[in-house]
Amino acid sequence: MKAVFLEKPGGNLVVREVKTPVPGPGEVLVRMKAAPVNPSDLAKLRKADDITTFIPGLEGSGTVVAAGKGLLPRLWMGKRVACSSEYPYSGTWAEYMVTKAGKCFPLAAKVDDEQGSMSLVNPLTALGFFEIAKENHHKAIINNAAASALGRMVELLGRKINIPVINIVRKSEQVNNLKRSGSKYVLDSTAPSFIEDLGKISHELSATVLFDSTCTGQLGKMISVLPSGSSVIIYGNLSGEENILVNPRTLIDNDIKISGFFLGARSKKNGMLKNIINLREVGRLMSSDLKINVQGRFPLEMAQEAVETYLADMSAGKVLLVMQA
């Protein structure tokens, strides 16, 4: 089969022919149809050490074409699924992927392969944010990098369940785009009045949780204007900054809590039943009004171009690798 590899550590992406993997007990073989380029894929590519075996791609969609021993693998045989990778040597950026059957979820009939390939990571994270908001009685939430695919889902869910979302973006055209699509609260982090505006609006709406995926140098100032008792939840590191500077007095005087969010850990905590309920909810949303923008589609052989296109304008929509096998 064809699969994407790194030419050298930190180098370009290339396609190589390798043996199609065989599913073992509890595993399935998925013939891949589509897979997005996500920020988490780029982070993995930067860290990959054994480039001779590493196949990127954390999520995607396809059809289960072979099943190892076990009830679940047999149950999924022949099904169209959303899937995530289990092993670094078998990612979704390939014609076939072997993964645990428990990492595959049948797709609703109304969800096509492309949309289905993006139905795990971001939609489940967006649901997770509102679980946190409800558990902790936050009346409104603040989300950064809000022009992202995830940001748009957070806004959509917020509207559905009546929890206002304060969206933070970093370009004026993103403010206009979000407002045009119905977002009420949008702040531009490059505006001179940004910190002041954030303080004002977060107090007005009692927005006591900030979800941040950027970790920029502004974070300390942003935290200093949040309502007392707020929580700051870091779920990404788009800026690549290795340290976050926060004045300890802010944390003490304003009773601020800082923590991290990782979907894998959240799913483990939620348990199987809650995860199934969430997946069904994602299926329902994707069958109706949740449509993720796609800005480009590339064959595996053009994975390098796909990543470059994505990096040139991440807010323009997802870039997909589309497999022809």
Ligand X SMILES: NC(=O)c1ccc[n+]([C@@H]2O[C@H](COP(=O)([O-])OP(=O)(O)OC[C@H]3O[C@@H](n4cnc5c(N)ncnc54)[C@H](OP(=O)(O)O)[C@@H]3O)[C@@H](O)[C@H]2O)c1
* Distance of closest approach, residue 73 Cβ to ligand X, in angstroms: 26
Residue in the shown chain whose Cβ atom is closest to ligand X: 236
Decide whether 97 or 150 has the Cβ nearer to ligand X.
150
Distance CA 140, CA 44 (A): 32
| Contacting range for ligand X; rule: CB under 6 A; set: 23-31, 70-78, 141-149, 245-253 | 141-149
Decide whether 55 or 154 has the Cβ nearer to ligand X.
154
Pattern 178-207, ligand X, x by CB under 6 A: ------------------------------
259-278: which residues touch ligand X (CB under 6 A)?
A: 261-263
Regarding 171 and contact with ligand X (CB under 6 A), the answer is yes
* Distance of closest approach, residue 118 Cβ to ligand X, in angstroms: 8
25-54: which residues touch ligand X (CB under 6 A)?
A: 38-40
Decide whether 33 or 266 has the Cβ nearer to ligand X.
266
What the block records as the tokens of 40 is: 């988490």
Among 64, 140, 145, 300, binds ligand X (CB under 6 A): 145
Regarding 122 and contact with ligand X (CB under 6 A), the answer is yes
Decide whether 38 or 63 has the Cβ nearer to ligand X.
38
Sheet containing 257-260: order of strands: 185-188, 165-169, 140-144, 207-212, 231-234, 257-260
* Distance of closest approach, residue 122 Cβ to ligand X, in angstroms: 5
Q: Which residues contact 187 (CB under 8 A, 6 or more apart)?
A: 166, 167, 168, 169, 175, 194, 197, 198, 201
Decide whether 121 or 302 has the Cβ nearer to ligand X.
121
| Contacting range for ligand X; rule: CB under 6 A; set: 13-21, 61-69, 202-210, 212-220 | 212-220
Regarding 150 and contact with ligand X (CB under 6 A), the answer is yes
What the block records as the tokens of 270 is: 């939620």
* Distance of closest approach, residue 59 Cβ to ligand X, in angstroms: 10
Contacts to ligand X by CB under 6 A: 38-40, 121-122, 125, 145, 147-150, 170-171, 213-214, 216, 235-236, 238-239, 261-263, 313-315
